[in-house]
Structure 1
Amino acid sequence: MLKQVLRYPLWLGELLTGSKSFVANPLIGSRRLNRWGLHVARVVLAHGVMRLRMGVLSWRVPRDDRRQFIEQGFVIKTNFLPEAEYRALVEEVRQADGEVRQCCQGDAQTRRMLLSPEMLVDMPRARAVLRAPAFRRLMRFCAGHLRMPICHAEWVMNGVSDAPADPQTHLHVDTFQPTMKFWLYLEEVSDINGPFIYVPGSQRLSRRRLAWEYAMSREAKTHADRYTARGSFRVTPEQAQALGDAPPRAFRVPGNTLLIANTFGVHARGGAEPGSSRLALWGMSRTNPFIPLPGLGFEWVNRLQYRVLQRQRREQDKRAAARDVQASWHRIDADDAWPRNASADRYGEHG
């Protein structure tokens, strides 16, 4: 009892951070407080702060990109790189020799290679893409923060086991605050290997969306779905239809397409054929949603966030080893851990 009382200052402080779990924090999960509007208040305040920061960071970001992201919740750019640069980037990523970590969810495996500043020393093409001024301005605007997103090379493999379906294929929202994820696809994406699905306009705070957030907050703590209980609400197809401007859109796109999405909007990973996969550069940004200033964009801050992540992963490895299990993101050292020897005709054919 005393231990719980002593934790209340921590739980209270978490209300002003990106903490989202209704089961881990009794204040966030309080039925009474949420009946009084706590969750909805956090949603509204987080979105107001994000719009303020995006306004500050909108300088020299193309107007069409800004409008599409604000109104639809995503930005899409096909033929993002010149053809020769794109093909060279794909080959460089496939031949990269960094630490590979894997997460298994349902019947899918996602493998990622962290593109830290140290890793990019030996990846000049990826470094050029991620440090291009226009790319950085667009990332910062969509993230509402000067700090660049943490970036990985990502290889998603579908249907690799007889486990239940990948939970990422269920329509959902990531959290209560606006967040940004991007994919620069290094292969064609189709119904074969699982396109990204997004409900256009579902990221906006309409009356329907706020009413839905309010209703979900009152039942989230005891919800049967564990992701919902942890603050990543699952969405039924009927709810998705009501929350957006249009039906869910599947992004079937050629390689060399850049897609940026606000994952407060309703989204999912599309269904895919067993044995299929897709390769991309992937990154995400999720910052404290209640600080009105857009942060610091110095290179030492960027390096620091990678070092913090690497240290966290090492600590997770140690804790998992002590329990004789694998960390949720664990190292893979097998010869086929990365698609280095894949046939070149699998990518780039659409430019």
Structure 2
Amino acid sequence: MMSLSSKIKSLPIAKVFSKDKLVASPFLNKIGIQPFRLWLANKRYHDKQYLVDSSVVNQVDQLMKDGIILVENFMSDSEFAAITKECRSFIDSDSFETSKKVGSNTIYNQSIENMDKTVYPTTTGLLNHPLLLKLFSAADKRELDPTKGDIIILIQYLVQGDGEDLDIESELHVDTFFNTYKAWLYLDDVRLENGPFSYVKGSHTNLNKDRYNNVYHYSLQKDVSGSRRVSKNEVDDLGLQETTVLCKKNTLAMANTFGFHRRLQGVNGNDRLTIAITAKRSPF
């Protein structure tokens, strides 16, 4: 039998201080490494100081409070008309880099970084969009550079299926163990029929004893993904409520996906075109 000192020497310590959702070590998980990672990552995040641009102070304050904001009329009318035309043209070209089934639904993704800037100038121009960069840098509390992979921007086209097979994204979950941000610029009106985003406001700050216990017990399970599923009881125990994001096109929804969220199942045959933006750098 391996001694305790031998076990410690063989531990995947590098994984502890990574952005990996879980550490693949039964021993480390048994001694509580996942709640420790959650505590440490959140402490480091909240200890950081960052000078927020005055033009987005109110929006960032709201994001820190609720975990989600909606920015209506994100682009000018002419810019929005141009990006919608470009993205619809791209759909017609049937050139998406990836497509996958998620339950009964199908989602198509295309990185705008790999698109022809002369053909899709407004879409690729999002890599340098001032308001987008200000919001993400303020939320992440460090200067982010999309050209260096700090922010990933995709055209995302979601087609609703019949709902017979579960879309795992329709279950409440947290993306990972640290504060991290996603945003969606909707090129269509968001309705119940086309699979809206849903968020539990305030769930990004509730680090009570029960949450640490839930994280600990989840880390001990076998064959689980790093995105912990959240029960309705956990939401009710916190006294929080889920909010479904129904909004007009040209709205940017930005959320801290350390909070509880999901994408609702829509109605068969409906679709939704979105620009999806993600910032996921290591919390350490």
Same fold (TM over 0.5): yes
Residue 280 of structure 1: SS of its match in structure 2?
A: strand
Matched, 1:153 2:147: no
Q: Is the 8 A contact 1:190 1:253 kept in 2?
A: yes
Q: Is the 8 A contact 1:112 1:155 kept in 2?
A: yes
Aligned to 2:178: 177
Aligned to 1:26: 26
Matched, 1:87 2:81: yes
Distance in 2 separating the partners of 1:265 and 1:147: 24
Percent of counterpart pairs with the same letter? 25
Matched, 1:237 2:225: no
Aligned to 1:254: 248
Post-superposition CA distance 1:6-38 (Å, at most 9, x none): 99757211001111235x33355x22x11xxx3
Residue-pair matches, total: 273
Aligned to 1:124: 121
Residue 19 of structure 2: SS of its match in structure 1?
A: coil
Matched, 1:62 2:53: no
Distance in 1 separating the partners of 2:39 and 2:112: 33
- Report the CA distance between 1:155 and its aligned residue: 0.4
Q: Is the 8 A contact 1:61 1:141 kept in 2?
A: no
Post-superposition CA distance 1:192-230 (Å, at most 9, x none): 1011000000000442xx42232331343326xx5xx22
- Report the CA distance between 1:52 and its aligned residue: 4.1
Residue 95 of structure 1: SS of its match in structure 2?
A: helix
Aligned to 2:219: 220
Residue 278 of structure 1: SS of its match in structure 2?
A: strand
Structure 2: which amino acid aligns with 1:211?
Answer: D
Alignment of 1:92-111 (within 5 A): 92-96=86-90, 98-111=95-108
Q: Is the 8 A contact 1:61 1:138 kept in 2?
A: no
Do the aligned partners of residues 130 and 52 (structure 1) sit closer, same or farther apart at CA in structure 2, a change above 3 Å counting?
farther
- Report the CA distance between 1:160 and its aligned residue: 5.4
- Report the CA distance between 1:236 and its aligned residue: 1.1
**TM-score using structure 1 length:** 0.71
Unaligned runs of 5+ in 2: none
Structure 1: which amino acid aligns with 2:68?
Answer: F
2:37 to 33, 39, 42: 42
Aligned to 1:267: 261
**TM-score using structure 2 length:** 0.86
Residue 231 of structure 1: SS of its match in structure 2?
A: coil
- Report the CA distance between 1:161 and its aligned residue: 7.2
